[in-house]
Amino acid sequence: MVWFAGVLAQTDSETLLDNPLTHTDWIKAGIVLVCTLVLAVTVSKLLRRAVSRGIGHGFASILTSRFSGYAVFIIGLSYALTVLGVRVGPLLGALGLGGLVLALALQGVVGNFVSSVILQTRRPYTVGDTVELDGHLGVVEDIDSRTTQIRGLDGTHIRIPNANVAGATIVNLTREPVRRSSLMVGVAYDTDLQQATEAIYAALERVPRVLADPEPAVNLDGFGDSSIGFNVLYWHDSDVPTELAARHDLVLAIHREFAAGSITIAFPQVTVWSGQQRPDRLYGGEVGEVRAPYPGLDQAEDERERRGPQWRLPGLRNPDRRSGS
């Protein structure tokens, strides 16, 4: 590529020697370059303002406006070089080849950059959303050309490469204003299930953070090892603090309702046998040979069919047939 650029410079120098530049050419090229700069800045600002009104402020509007400004500047610069007698075609080819080599050397950076463009185009989350990205849960603080920065619920700051985010499962917890959660409750087997259901509904009504619309639901889930399970489905505001507070209040309200109605909340139980009901002489106190009768194995000797040896001559399958009987 260096050899190609040298040949290109030599050819352009020979052309300029045959047709030397005048002051008018330099003035035209300068005017074109100045106008290009003004036009590029104007287009960039106008486009950034328009994109910000459409999809909001962020990396997408910055990226779009900068690309548009760069495109206008490159077109103007190419025209200015043409006025000065420089052949732009071979120069652009050399730049394109150099750009390809640079892209191969910076695959990771280019991958993150392209992923950031895809994320800004699809907008699965925005700044301020609570999301789960690549196994990390937190609030989105910033999205740049390489990473997405989130603030964890424990106050930590996490930067995740956009290439990892684009290829992973994205869970947006606050995209909708409300969200549903579930709570498992187990009661003892001797519980009046209708009474327990009414008690859970009464507890739901006593928690202001649980929304009445959409309505909560209480469903029997099945028979467990030590309990009969209820699956309580309820709706609340989508932010994580409200979710935690609503669950806390609901557990407390259900416990109070069950205590008032004498309903037992089941828990794993183990029965310990003291051995006091054990008989004094187990198996009648007899100790001897253990031999249980087995069908077909432990038959009496006289009941078994005995067959004597049968002698056969070579070439005969049945000796009785030979004797004619």
Q: Which of the listed ranges 3-7, 60-64, 163-167 does the model predict with the highest average pLDDT?
A: 163-167
Tokens encoding 262: 């004498």
Q: Which phi and psi angles does 300 have, rounded to 5°?
A: -65, 150
Q: What is the pLDDT of residues 23-70, one digit of tens each?
A: 676 777 778 778 888 887 887 777 777 766 665 555 566 666 667 777
Q: Band of the pLDDT at 2, cuts 50, 70, 90?
A: very low
> Would the pLDDT of 111 be above 90?
no
Query: What pLDDT was estimated at residue 7?
Result: 42
Contact residues for 44 (Cβ-Cβ < 8 A; gap 6+): 65, 66, 68, 69
Tokens encoding 65: 């406006």
Overall CATH class of domain 125-172: mainly beta
| Residue 70: count of CB within 10 angstroms of its CB | 12
* Region of poorest pLDDT, from 16-20, 212-216, 223-227, 252-256: 16-20
Q: Which phi and psi angles does 318 have, rounded to 5°?
A: -135, 110
Tokens encoding 95: 């730049």
| Residue 192: count of CB within 10 angstroms of its CB | 13
What number of CA atoms fall less than 13 Å from residue 218's CA on the CB side?
19
CA dist 254 and 82 (Å) reads 81
pTM above 0.75, yes or no: no
Q: Band of the pLDDT at 73, cuts 50, 70, 90?
A: confident
Contact residues for 184 (Cβ-Cβ < 8 A; gap 6+): 221, 229, 230, 231, 232
Which residue spans of the chain are classified as CATH 3.30.70.100? Answer: 178-260
H-only helix segments in the chain: 2-18, 23-55, 59-83, 88-105, 107-122, 162-167, 193-205, 240-260, 319-322
Mean pLDDT of the chain: 75
Nearest to 56 by CA among 125, 114, 118, 146: 125
Residue type, 223: F
Strand, helix or coil at 265? strand
Which residue spans of the chain are classified as CATH 1.10.287.1260? Answer: 2-113
> Would the pLDDT of 313 be above 70?
no
Strand, helix or coil at 140? strand
Strand, helix or coil at 155? coil
Q: What is the pLDDT of residues 269-304, one digit of tens each?
A: 776 766 665 555 656 666 667 666 766 676 655 555
Question: CATH topology for 2-113?
Answer: Helix Hairpins (1.10.287)
CA dist 263 and 197 (Å) reads 11
> Would the pLDDT of 110 be above 50?
yes
177 close to 239: Cβ distance less than 8 angstroms? no
CA dist 62 and 117 (Å) reads 11
Question: CATH topology for 178-260?
Answer: Alpha-Beta Plaits (3.30.70)
Query: What pLDDT was estimated at residue 118?
Result: 77
CA dist 221 and 227 (Å) reads 11
* Region of poorest pLDDT, from 83-87, 100-104, 109-113, 212-216: 100-104
148 close to 140: Cβ distance less than 8 angstroms? yes
Which residue spans of the chain are classified as CATH 2.30.30.60? Answer: 125-172
Q: Band of the pLDDT at 107, cuts 50, 70, 90?
A: low
> Percent of the chain beyond pLDDT 70?
62
